[in-house]
Amino acid sequence: MPGNSFGTLFRITTWGESHGEAVGVVIDGCPPEIPLNESVIQDMLERRRPGGSFVSSSRKEPDRAIIMSGVFKGMTTGTPVMIMIKNSDARPESYEKISDLFRPGHGDITYQAKYGIRDWRGGGRASARETVSRVAAGAVAKAVLEHEKIYVSACTVELGGIKAVTHDPDAVSGNIFMCPDTKAALKMEKLVKDVKKSGDSVGGIVEITANGVPVGLGEPVFDKLDADIAKGLMSIGAVKGVEIGVGFKAAILKGSENNDPITRRGFLTNNAGGILAGISNGDEIVVRVAVKPIPSIEKEQKTVDLSGKERTISVRGRHDVSAIPRINVVCESMVSIVLADHLLRQRAVGR
Amino acid sequence: MPGNSFGTLFRITTWGESHGEAVGVVIDGCPPEIPLNESVIQDMLERRRPGGSFVSSSRKEPDRAIIMSGVFKGMTTGTPVMIMIKNSDARPESYEKISDLFRPGHGDITYQAKYGIRDWRGGGRASARETVSRVAAGAVAKAVLEHEKIYVSACTVELGGIKAVTHDPDAVSGNIFMCPDTKAALKMEKLVKDVKKSGDSVGGIVEITANGVPVGLGEPVFDKLDADIAKGLMSIGAVKGVEIGVGFKAAILKGSENNDPITRRGFLTNNAGGILAGISNGDEIVVRVAVKPIPSIEKEQKTVDLSGKERTISVRGRHDVSAIPRINVVCESMVSIVLADHLLRQRAVGR
Amino acid sequence: MPGNSFGTLFRITTWGESHGEAVGVVIDGCPPEIPLNESVIQDMLERRRPGGSFVSSSRKEPDRAIIMSGVFKGMTTGTPVMIMIKNSDARPESYEKISDLFRPGHGDITYQAKYGIRDWRGGGRASARETVSRVAAGAVAKAVLEHEKIYVSACTVELGGIKAVTHDPDAVSGNIFMCPDTKAALKMEKLVKDVKKSGDSVGGIVEITANGVPVGLGEPVFDKLDADIAKGLMSIGAVKGVEIGVGFKAAILKGSENNDPITRRGFLTNNAGGILAGISNGDEIVVRVAVKPIPSIEKEQKTVDLSGKERTISVRGRHDVSAIPRINVVCESMVSIVLADHLLRQRAVGR
Amino acid sequence: MPGNSFGTLFRITTWGESHGEAVGVVIDGCPPEIPLNESVIQDMLERRRPGGSFVSSSRKEPDRAIIMSGVFKGMTTGTPVMIMIKNSDARPESYEKISDLFRPGHGDITYQAKYGIRDWRGGGRASARETVSRVAAGAVAKAVLEHEKIYVSACTVELGGIKAVTHDPDAVSGNIFMCPDTKAALKMEKLVKDVKKSGDSVGGIVEITANGVPVGLGEPVFDKLDADIAKGLMSIGAVKGVEIGVGFKAAILKGSENNDPITRRGFLTNNAGGILAGISNGDEIVVRVAVKPIPSIEKEQKTVDLSGKERTISVRGRHDVSAIPRINVVCESMVSIVLADHLLRQRAVGR
Contact between D259 and C297 (Cβ < 8 Å) = yes
Strands (E) across D245-284 are located at 262-263, 266-267, 275-276, 279-280
Residue-level pLDDT at D144: 98
Q: What is the DSSP letter of D35?
A: B
Q: Is the pLDDT of residue D252 over 90?
A: yes
Residue D57: band (very low, low, confident or very high) from pLDDT cuts 50, 70, 90 = low
Q: Is the pLDDT of residue C51 over 60?
A: no
**DSSP, residue by residue, A89-154:** T--THHHHTTTTB--TTSSHHHHHHHHS----GGGGGGSGGGHHHHHHHHHHHHHHHHTTT-EEEE
Contact between A80 and A50 (Cβ < 8 Å) = no
Inter-axis angle of helices D131-146 and D38-48, to 10 degrees?
130
Q: 3-class DSSP state for residue A194?
A: helix
Q: Which of B56-60, C175-179, D134-138 has the lowest mean pLDDT?
A: B56-60
CA distances from D2 to A1, A228, A327, C342 (A): 10, 22, 35, 11
- Using CA coordinates, name the residue in chain B closest to C2: B1
Cα D155-D157-D158 angle, rounded to 5 deg = 130
Q: Do C299 and D255 touch (CB under 8 A)?
A: yes
Return all residues near A337 (Cβ < 8 A) that are at least 6 apart.
Answer: A6, A7, A10, A12, A134, A137, A138, A141, A232
Cα D54-D56-D60 angle, rounded to 5 deg = 105
Cα B238-B239-B243 angle, rounded to 5 deg = 165
What is the rounded radius of gyration, in angstroms, for the C-alpha atoms of chain A? 21
Q: Do B28 and D11 touch (CB under 8 A)?
A: no
Smallest CA–CA distance, residue A89 to chain B, in Å, is: 23
Q: Is the pLDDT of residue D189 over 60?
A: yes
Number of domains in chain A: 1
Residue-level pLDDT at D59: 62
Cis status, amide bond into C221, omega within 30 of 0:
yes
Distance (Å, whole) CA B101 – CA C329: 63
Q: Is the pLDDT of residue C108 over 90?
A: yes
User: Which of B119, B189, B18, B312 lies closest to A259, judged by CA?
Assistant: B312
Residue-level pLDDT at B316: 80
Is C303's Cβ below 8 Å from some Cβ in D? yes
Spell C79-97 as b/e; 16+ CB within 10 A means b.
Answer: bbbbbbbbbebbebeebee
* Proportion of chain A in helix, strand, coil states, percent, rounded to 5: 30, 25, 45
> Mean pLDDT throughout D184-213?
97
User: Which of B15, B18, B4, B13 lies closest to B87, judged by CA?
Assistant: B18
Residue D90: band (very low, low, confident or very high) from pLDDT cuts 50, 70, 90 = low
Is A29's Cβ below 8 Å from some Cβ in C? yes
> Mean pLDDT throughout D183-205?
97
Is B278's Cβ below 8 Å from some Cβ in C? no
Over residues C85-100, the pLDDT tens digits come to 999 876 767 778 888 9
Which of A32, A79, A348 comes nearest D347 by C-beta? A348
- In one letter, which amino acid is C123? G
> Mean pLDDT throughout C279-302?
97
Looking from the CA of D314 toward its CB, the CA atoms found within 13 Å total 7
Which residue, among D217, D276, D313, D331, would best test binding to C if mutated, counting the most C CBs under 10 Å from its CB?
D276
Inter-axis angle of helices B38-48 and B326-349, to 10 degrees?
130
Residue D52: band (very low, low, confident or very high) from pLDDT cuts 50, 70, 90 = low
Is B244's Cβ below 8 Å from some Cβ in A? yes
Contact between A178 and A156 (Cβ < 8 Å) = yes
Q: What is the DSSP letter of D260?
A: -
CA B183 to chain centre: 25
Over residues C199-224, the pLDDT tens digits come to 999 999 999 999 999 999 999 999 99
Backbone CA torsion sign across A73, A75, A80, A86:
positive
Which of A220, A344, A351 comes nearest D348 by C-beta? A344
Contact between D11 and D29 (Cβ < 8 Å) = yes
Residue-level pLDDT at D350: 84
Contacts of C9 in chain A (CB under 8 A): 1-2
- Percent of chain D predicted with pLDDT > 70: 95
Residue-level pLDDT at A58: 63
- Does the predicted interface ipTM exceed a cut of 0.90? yes
Residue-level pLDDT at D318: 65
Is B112's Cβ below 8 Å from some Cβ in D? no
User: Which of A298, A272, A269, A301 lies closest to A285, judged by CA?
Assistant: A272
Q: Do D256 and C299 touch (CB under 8 A)?
A: yes
Spell B83-98 as b/e; 16+ CB within 10 A means b.
Answer: bbbbbebbebeebeeb
Is B240's Cβ below 8 Å from some Cβ in A? yes
Residue-level pLDDT at D146: 98
Q: Chain A: list its partners (3+ Cβ pairs within 8 Å).
A: B, C, D
Distance (Å, whole) CA A250 – CA A271: 8
Residue-level pLDDT at B51: 55
User: Which of C138, B221, C317, C68 lies closest to A68, judged by CA?
Assistant: C68
> Mean pLDDT throughout C103-107?
96
CATH number at residue B222: 3.60.150.10
Q: CB D272: neighbour CB atoms within 10 A?
A: 28
Spell A294-305 as b/e; 16+ CB within 10 A means b.
Answer: bbbbbeebbbbe
Distance (Å, whole) CA D160 – CA D147: 37
Distance (Å, whole) CA A69 – CA B19: 50
Inter-axis angle of helices A225-234 and B225-234, to 10 degrees?
160
Task: Please give the torsion angle defined by the CA atoms of residues A86, C39, C10 and A102, in that order, rounded to the nearest 10 degrees.
Answer: -60
Q: Is the pLDDT of residue B280 over 80?
A: yes
Over residues C256-269, the pLDDT tens digits come to 999 999 999 999 99
Spell A3-25 as b/e; 16+ CB within 10 A means b.
Answer: bbbbbbbbbbbbbbbbbbbbbbb
Cα C218-D329-D93 angle, rounded to 5 deg = 65
Return all residues near B144 (Cβ < 8 A) that are at least 6 apart.
Answer: B10, B30, B31, B34, B340, B343
Contacts of A118 in chain C (CB under 8 A): 72, 77
Residue-level pLDDT at B88: 85
Cis status, amide bond into A221, omega within 30 of 0:
yes
> Mean pLDDT throughout B230-236?
98
Residue C57: band (very low, low, confident or very high) from pLDDT cuts 50, 70, 90 = low
For the range D89-92, what are the long-range contacts, defined as Cβ-Cβ under 8 Å and sequence gap of 24 or more?
D89/D59, D89/D60, D89/D61, D90/D18, D90/D19, D90/D20, D90/D121, D90/D122, D91/D19, D92/D19, D92/D121, D92/D122
Q: Is the pLDDT of residue C58 over 70?
A: no
For residue B266, what are the β-bridge partners? B263
Residue span of the structural domain in which B84 resides: 5-348
Distance (Å, whole) CA B140 – CA B337: 8
Residue-level pLDDT at D319: 76
Cis status, amide bond into D325, omega within 30 of 0:
yes
User: Which of B224, C335, C350, B221 lies closest to D2, judged by CA?
Assistant: C350
CA distances from B148 to B34, B39, B143, B145 (A): 11, 20, 9, 5
Backbone CA torsion sign across B331, B334, B338, B339:
positive
Which of C161, C244, C301 comes nearest D252 by C-beta? C161
Determine which helix (DSSP H) or strand (DSSP E) holds C131, and give its type and residue range.
helix C131-146
Determine which helix (DSSP H) or strand (DSSP E) holds D93, and give its type and residue range.
helix D93-96
Tens of pLDDT along chain A (351 residues)? 999 999 999 999 999 999 999 999 999 999 999 999 999 999 999 998 765 567 776 666 688 999 999 999 999 999 999 999 999 876 767 788 888 999 999 999 999 999 999 999 989 999 999 999 999 999 999 999 999 999 999 999 999 999 999 999 999 999 999 999 999 999 999 999 999 999 999 999 999 999 999 999 999 999 999 999 999 999 999 999 999 999 999 999 999 999 999 999 999 999 999 999 999 999 999 999 999 999 999 999 999 999 999 999 998 866 789 999 999 999 999 999 999 999 999 999 987
Q: Is the pLDDT of residue B239 over 70?
A: yes
Q: What is the DSSP letter of C223?
A: B
CB contacts < 8 A (C, D): 361
Backbone CA torsion sign across B111, B115, B116, B119:
negative
Q: 3-class DSSP state for residue D6?
A: strand
Q: 3-class DSSP state for residue A253?
A: coil
Smallest CA–CA distance, residue D207 to chain C, in Å, is: 13
* Proportion of chain B in helix, strand, coil states, percent, rounded to 5: 30, 25, 45
CA B306 to chain centre: 31
Residue-level pLDDT at A53: 66
Q: Do C9 and B350 touch (CB under 8 A)?
A: no
Residue-level pLDDT at D166: 97
Q: Is the pLDDT of residue C315 over 90?
A: no
Residue-level pLDDT at B102: 95
